Structure 1
């Protein structure tokens, strides 16, 4: 910038004004400065440096531990991000989607180097290295989970995960189901599909799976089914293919469960795929429940827990970009609803 100023015979601040405050200069002087800049190979002030000087970048970093394509293909993620984007647009703010690498050092570096005004934590396990890196930045953070409910400074827009599955479990228990299987991702940190045995749901390292499994545990304990009697299968990822493979771990053994409960609709749809492959009828031979109520759940006749993904994204954006003064209003718990469809029915041996 100083080189351009010397070439034109003006001050450095005048060159800066040509780019950032054009109303302060005559059109002729601005064009003279731009001509000199082009001739000298100067492209203008660095956008990142300029935004840091202003104290506002105009971007939200969205953290999730999946591939970038997940943000555009997972129906629940699409709805959440749409809601977040709608609010961001009202504040002239963009979204920086940050799929974090499995390599802990690389993930932490990505968070440390992100030029953003704050972070929205969409899907990030408790143990992920990005959690600590994010806290070191001391930027505003809003989460889609209420894991920090005990911290009065925490911001989140969430649901009561355990209460939602408690209601779903009680519904199935009333239908006579006692042989139960649960399918979730991140029951263990390893990304692999296999049966697992945990002493209790509280030992599961991922918040969402932990809370949803705990709700089901409590529901069936009320009718005498203890946690060790419930089969749990870890899915390698939140996908239909992984869930179909996970379902085979319990469907191909005797006695098979009368109900399979999945912690997401994507996993539940994979369970339905596994049933169809075996000629089993959802809601008659095996009942299936999902979670989220994505559009495909209606088409498949899937009983599920509905949560407001779009509204969750909108309010998460508002908590970052226009937070209320009252700290209590920065912790939002949205309602859920059990939506009963054809994939559930009385236990076949009830």
Structure 2
């Protein structure tokens, strides 16, 4: 049976989720008749009200969760993966009647004041590089903390994906189709603004743990198939944008011999690679196979990709924080799925 939420009740009554939330948290904002109807429907559906721990948190302290995100706000509201995650976390917060404060930390920004001055009851840390001073500031606040994707912090709950296995599935798919000349386009290895060819040392020294592990998954799949990883051209970009993906695509497809399959660690980059292939007059998948990652807006483009449970991960992170982040730290690894679409096929043989 589906879980009953504030949105379930709102849909039944044809009102907003905020209106239903007020019935439990701010009844003085509603007429007696409307509040009574909301409570009747809630009882009918078996909804007892917001999580008591979360309600106590809201009434006794700041009433907000802090989401520390290693990017700009403009990026956050344009990136499909981030949007899906934010939606899930917002759902958990709204169901509990608490707010969500997004704290952006653009790449290269090493400040910690953002954390020190944040009036929140708990922190979700998402996609920070190893050793970032803001993480130390978060831990010093002694509030509940959940880490998403990276970096893993012993003693605190973690929410993420099995990065090596997911990447190996992507690479294994094109290898299984018969491709031996692979190329890789990746973002998120470092936060130094570099764009260009990534040496093995730069790959292995990536400061973003999840991407370091994802890169390791690609490498392991290639080595298991007898493909020399040192011979796989690897192009790194500083920003996750379609234009950056196109630039990487042109660089990879300009090599001789040209890769017959390109792996990317985001769907946004993959779409850029498809743009580059189109500009060069290459047929996909006839002359080139392309694989993305995260299944964000990939269906319309017919993109083969790895599906991640973005929204479910966000909701889980929020609920862990609202429960006090659990006395026994949990490591929630969400399943991934290879979604095969029209951008991959066996290589054409002369």
Do both share a fold (TM > 0.5)?
A: yes
Q: Does 1:74 align with 2:79?
A: yes
Structure 1's 211 and 188: CA in aligned 2 closer, same or farther, altered over 3 A?
same
Structure 1's 334 and 103: CA in aligned 2 closer, same or farther, altered over 3 A?
closer
Distance 2:136 2:311 in 1: 28
Structure 1's 120 and 326: CA in aligned 2 closer, same or farther, altered over 3 A?
closer
CA contact (8 A) 2:129 2:150 kept: no
Count of equivalent residues: 296
Q: Does 1:122 align with 2:102?
A: no
Q: Which residue of 2 aligns with 1:18?
A: none
Distance 1:220 1:102 in 2: 30
Q: How does 1:1-350 map to 2 (within 5 A)?
A: 55-101=60-106, 104=109, 107-145=111-149, 147-148=151-152, 151=154, 153-199=155-201, 201-294=203-296, 296-323=297-324, 325=326, 327=328, 330-349=330-349
1:135 is paired with a residue whose SS is helix
2:299 is paired with a residue whose SS is helix
Distance 2:94 2:317 in 1: 13
**1:79-106, CA deviations, whole angstroms, 9 ceiling, x for partnerless residues?**
110110000012221111111145645x
Distance 1:188 1:332 in 2: 25
Shift of 1:215: 0.6
Structure 1's 125 and 224: CA in aligned 2 closer, same or farther, altered over 3 A?
same
Structure 1's 287 and 102: CA in aligned 2 closer, same or farther, altered over 3 A?
closer
Structure 1's 101 and 338: CA in aligned 2 closer, same or farther, altered over 3 A?
closer
- TM-score of the superposed pair, with normalisation by structure 1: 0.79
Distance 2:298 2:225 in 1: 28
- TM-score of the superposed pair, with normalisation by structure 2: 0.79
CA contact (8 A) 1:120 1:316 kept: yes
Shift of 1:348: 2.3
CA contact (8 A) 1:146 1:159 kept: no
Distance 1:286 1:53 in 2: 53
Distance 2:211 2:102 in 1: 23
Q: Which residue of 2 aligns with 1:41?
A: none
Structure 2 residues not aligned, in runs of 5+: 1-27, 29-55
**1:86-138, CA deviations, whole angstroms, 9 ceiling, x for partnerless residues?**
00012221111111145645x21111111111111222222433122222222
- Larger C-alpha radius of gyration, 1 or 2? 1
Q: Which residue of 2 aligns with 1:35?
A: none
